[in-house]
Structure formats: structure tokens, C-alpha cells
């Protein structure tokens, strides 16, 4: 079959979305590719379709189990049976069977941590990998230097499995992050396709309050009135659960909490209930979102300010994937910057912990060492990676402290950029585009609070208004027909 026939017969579309065909052609020609497409515009098709034209398996590195499971299920719904996600959901017997039959799978999903295991890597070297895919590739730069250092080894692993053509996919990456991705994956003159992060059907609104109770009261009012379904993002696991109770006590029934402290089975259940329409609202941390292929999310509310613009754009991009108007609303109260500052402080080890770790590197009881140093698993991974990287340096601890300070400063600078965006009086969409070094786009008919937005337009019972903006109609029609 040709790619157009596959597009129609397997995926059910008549034409490609913007950017998809160019990326697919480059992949089929054997190029390394870095592609940036807006959230919800069909990035997965860029490797799923080529898999039916290439000989061998497509190996996909994915950051979250929930994202893997969702993509596996989506492929199975399309009739694909040669797909597997090797993760903790497979018991020993199932994993052994998957290993024996690995060459029979068209799609193989793995986390960077799982890919780093010698037994898995040795088995992958025995099969033909026709395409190596890094999904959510910004995680290489955004997470790799801190708490998921296995991302930094993907370039070396890529070479060890025969240097297959590689596709790095992301929705949000500044030019310096894209350069970082190319360098760490050891790309040499890759094809690069970068499309605007702008989603014209999502209005961007910030509301400011002086006190916490005002913000809490406003949240209830908005959730009661907004068209549903929707997601509310918090920076605290505890608050996701507290606000579920608060909303339920005030008449919002189909609501659940989602965060990293919930066991995997429960997280998968909540995600599936939301996808199937059994939940109207999810109160979540940033752990919720990747792989949420739900087209009709009408609102995304941030109760806490995200720590960086990249996270904000990724999270609001989960709204309006059907092309219909949706609202992204951030509730800001004075001093909201303090919570992300505390989170930044907690993510990285202190200087004394770094110095103390150097004298304990030979301790075999890891639990005892963590207790003595009072460090988290995240901090331990950071220490293990960088002490290994600087193992031959005479002042290892000092080098690790330098790395830690640089990462902390970068995170703080991104936080202040986000804070400046929140407190600015200029068009929010224009500023977001500028942040990603994009040229200004024509403003949609409903843009942002600076450009004036009537929030009641997004309330239940409001009828859609007629649009004269031809570009808006064309964009919506294209999204409804072509989105993947």
C-alpha cells in the first residue's frame, strides 16, 4: 500500500494534517528528523504510518506508562496486534514471552530507564530496528539533567543498536532546547520541521486575586459554570485530593484526583474514566496529561502557576483538540511564585548532601545511605549520574555542585519568565509566541484577557456565535476532519 492508502485504510483519514506528510516523507527517506508540532495535531501519526512501510520494528521511547498504554490501546483499536509496551504492567511470564517474540512486533514502547537495562538492550541488538522514536523529546533537556538521567544516554544507546534513523517529536521546545536534543541524540545534519505552538481556538486568561480564599471561591464558580469536561492543575498532590472533596461537597459529582502518589492501576483507571466520559473534571498534578487523547476538553484551569512556559503550553494544549473554542484560565494570587521555588529547592540535593555522598559512594546499603543523607530517589539518581560522569575528576563534589547550581539558576529564570508573562499587560498569545521565538500570528477572534474575553461564552448553555473570520473556520474544519 502507498502512504495515502495506509492513511485512509488504517487510520481513517483522507488527507494529512499540516506538517505530517513532510515529516513522514523524511522518515521514509531514512533521515534523522527533529519535529515540533503543536499539542493535539497528530505527532504520533508521524511514526505510526511509516511503520507500515518500513521493514523491522519501530522502537518508541516514551516518558510515562500511562502514555504508552494509551498509545498501545489506540493502535489496538485500529486493529494493530503487533504492538507491545514493556513496562511494569507486564508480569514476568508476559515479559519473557515478549522478549522471545520481540522481532514480531511492529511497535515496541519502552521508557528510557527500561531501555537502559542491559538484558533489554542486548535483546534489541538482535532484531532489526527500522526507526528509533523519542516521543516528547523535550524531556531529554527538561528532565534528563535532573531526575531522569537515563535520557542523557539515548544518543549512546542509539549508536549501540545500529544507529537507526531517528525521529524526535515534541510540542514545545525553544531553539536552544532543540539544539540540546540534536546534540544529545548525536544527530548529524538532521531534517528539522518546526511549526507554531499557537492554538487559535484556545483563549488564554489570567485572573488575579489577593487572597487564597478568593481564588478557591472563584474556582468553584468556574467549575460549576464552564462547559465540561475539564482539567484543573495543581502543584501539590495534597491539594488535588482536598479540592476533589471541596468540589464534591459543593455539588460537582464526577470529579477525581490524579497524581504521582496514586498507584499505577488507579491512575490508569482514572485516565480511562476521563477518556470515556465517566468523569467531568480531573484535579491533577502535571503527571496527568501526556497521552490524554480526548478531543472535547473544554477547559484547563491552573490553580497554581506552572514553573515554566513550556509546561503551561503543553498543559493548555490538552484543551480543544476537536477544534472547538476552549478556555485556558490561570488563577493567580500574590506570592504564588513561592510554591514552585520550594519545589525547585526540593528537587536538587543541597551542597552538604553532595559532599557527604562522595564519602559514601561505596556503601552497599542504598536505603541506609539515603536515610543518612536525607535524600529522595530523584536526588539519588542525580548524584549517581554526575558522580559517575566526573569519576576521574579530582574535585568531583565541586563539579556536581556547579552542575546543581546551574540547573537551579536555569529553573529559577524560567519561573521568573512565567511570572513576567502572568503579570504582563501585553497580549498573552503574542508573548507566548515571542518566548518560542516565533513571529506574530494573526489574533483569533477570542484571544486572551488582555485582548478582552467574555468568559460567559464558555459557560454551559451558551450557543456558539457566528464567526466571520475565514481563517478560523478553515482551521476548525481542518482540525475536526484531520486531527489524530
| C-alpha distances out from residue 137 to 43, 118, 149, 154, 212, Å | 12, 23, 14, 11, 36
Q: Are 303 and 233 in contact (CB under 8 A)?
A: yes
Pair type for strands 299-302 and 230-233 = parallel
Angstrom distance (rounded) from CA 53 to CA 56: 10
pLDDT digits (tens, 9 = 90+) for 254-303: 999 999 888 878 888 898 899 899 999 999 998 787 767 788 999 999 99
What's the DSSP call for residue 226? B
Q: What are phi and psi of 263, to 5 degrees?
A: -65, 160
Domain 3-194: assigned CATH number: 3.40.50.300
What's the DSSP call for residue 421? H
Q: What is the predicted pLDDT for the residue at 343?
A: 87
Q: What is the predicted pLDDT for the residue at 144?
A: 78
Q: What is the predicted pLDDT for the residue at 444?
A: 79
Q: What is the predicted pLDDT for the residue at 279?
A: 96
Q: Are 242 and 285 in contact (CB under 8 A)?
A: no
Residues of the chain with pLDDT below 70 are: 291, 461-484
Q: Are 204 and 427 in contact (CB under 8 A)?
A: no
Q: Looking at the DSSP assignment, which residues form a beta bridge with residue 268?
A: none
- All three cell numbers of 299, joined, read 477547559
Q: What is the predicted pLDDT for the residue at 319?
A: 94
Angstrom distance (rounded) from CA 243 to CA 270: 16
| Of the candidates 340, 384, 336, the residue with the CA atom closest to the CA atom of residue 358 | 384
**Which H or E run includes 65?**
helix 65-77
Edge-to-edge strands, sheet with 57-61: 83-85, 107-110, 57-61, 129-134, 166-170, 33-36, 191-194
Do 3-194 and 202-339+416-482 have matching folds?
Answer: yes
- Model-level pTM? 0.86
Q: What is the predicted pLDDT for the residue at 172?
A: 86
Domain boundaries, the chain: 3-194, 202-339+416-482
- CB-based contacts of 246-254 (< 8 A; 24+ apart in sequence): 246/216, 246/220, 247/220, 247/223, 247/281, 247/283, 250/220, 250/224, 251/224, 252/220, 252/223, 252/224, 252/280, 252/281, 253/280, 254/278, 254/279, 254/280, 254/281
Q: What is the predicted pLDDT for the residue at 378?
A: 84
**Which H or E run includes 140?**
helix 138-142
Domain 202-339+416-482: assigned CATH number: 3.40.50.300
Q: Are 39 and 199 in contact (CB under 8 A)?
A: yes
pLDDT digits (tens, 9 = 90+) for 79-102: 999 999 988 777 778 888 888 889
Amino acid at each position: 500500500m502507498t502512504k495515502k492508502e495506509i492513511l485512509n485504510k488504517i487510520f481513517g483519514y483522507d488527507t494529512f494534517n499540516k506538517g505530517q506528510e513532510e515529516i513522514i516523507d523524511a522518515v521514509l527517506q531514512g533521515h534523522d528528523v527533529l519535529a515540533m508540532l503543536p499539542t493535539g495535531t497528530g505527532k504520533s501519526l508521524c511514526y505510526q504510518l511509516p511503520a507500515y512501510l518500513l521493514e523491522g520494528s519501530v522502537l518508541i521511547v516514551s516518558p510515562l506508562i500511562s502514555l504508552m498504554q494509551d498509545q498501545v490501546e489506540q493502535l489496538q483499536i485500529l486493529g494493530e496486534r503487533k504492538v507491545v509496551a514493556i513496562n511494569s504492567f507486564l508480569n514476568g511470564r508476559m515479559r519473557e514471552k515478549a522478549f522471545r517474540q520481540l522481532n514480531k512486533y511492529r511497535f515496541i514502547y519502552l521508557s528510557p530507564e527500561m531501555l537502559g537495562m542491559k538484558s533489554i538492550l542486548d535483546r534489541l541488538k538482535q532484531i532489526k530496528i527500522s526507526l528509533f522514536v523519542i516521543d516528547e523529546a523535550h524531556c531529554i533537556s527538561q528532565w534528563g539533567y535532573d531526575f531522569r538521567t537515563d535520557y542523557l544516554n539515548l544518543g549512546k544507546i542509539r549508536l549501540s543498536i545500529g544507529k537507526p534513523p531517528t525521529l524526535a517529536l515534541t510540542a514545545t521546545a525553544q531553539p536552544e532546547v532543540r539544539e540540546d536534543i540534536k546534540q544529545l541524540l548525536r544527530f548529524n545534519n538532521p531534517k528539522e520541521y518546526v511549526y507554531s505552538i499557537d492554538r487559535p481556538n484556545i483563549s488564554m486568561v489570567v485572573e488575579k486575586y489577593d487572597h487564597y480564599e478568593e481564588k478557591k471561591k472563584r474556582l468553584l464558580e468556574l467549575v460549576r459554570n464552564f462547559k465540561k469536561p475539564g482539567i484543573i492543575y495543581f502543584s501539590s498532590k495534597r491539594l488535588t485530593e482536598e479540592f476533589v472533596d471541596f468540589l464534591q461537597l459543593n455539588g460537582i459529582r464526577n470529579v477525581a484526583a490524579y497524581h504521582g502518589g496514586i498507584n499505577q492501576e488507579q491512575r490508569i483507571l482514572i485516565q480511562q474514566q476521563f477518556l470515556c466520559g465517566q468523569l467531568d473534571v480531573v484535579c491533577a498534578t502535571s503527571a496527568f496529561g501526556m497521552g490524554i487523547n480526548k478531543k472535547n476538553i473544554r477547559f484547563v484551569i491552573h490553580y497554581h502557576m506552572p514553573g515554566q512556559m513550556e509546561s503551561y503550553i503543553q498543559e493548555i494544549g490538552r484543551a480543544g483538540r476537536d477544534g472547538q473554542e476552549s478556555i485556558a484560565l490561570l488563577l493567580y494570587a500574590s506570592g504564588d511564585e513561592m510554591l514552585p521555588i520550594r519545589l525547585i529547592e526540593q528537587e536538587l540535593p543541597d551542597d552538604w548532601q553532595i559532599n557527604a555522598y562522595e564519602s559514601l559512594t561505596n556503601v552497599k546499603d542504598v536505603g541506609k545511605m539515603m536515610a543518612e543523607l536525607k535524600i529522595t530517589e530523584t536526588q539519588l539518581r542525580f548524584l549517581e549520574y554526575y558522580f559517575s560522569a566526573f569519576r576521574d575528576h579530582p574535585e568531583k563534589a565541586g563539579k556536581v555542585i556547579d552542575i546543581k547550581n546551574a540547573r537551579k539558576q536555569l529553573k529559577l529564570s524560567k519561573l521568573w519568565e512565567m511570572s513576567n508573562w502572568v503579570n504582563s499587560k501585553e497580549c498573552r498569545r503574542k508573548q507566548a509566541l515571542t518566548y518560542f521565538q516565533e513571529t506574530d500570528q494573526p489574533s483569533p477572534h477570542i484571544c486572551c484577557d488582555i485582548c478582552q474575553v467574555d468568559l460567559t461564552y464558555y459557560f454551559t448553555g451558551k450557543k456558539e456565535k457566528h464567526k466571520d473570520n475565514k481563517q478560523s473556520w478553515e482551521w476548525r474544519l481542518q482540525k475536526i476532519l484531520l486531527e489524530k
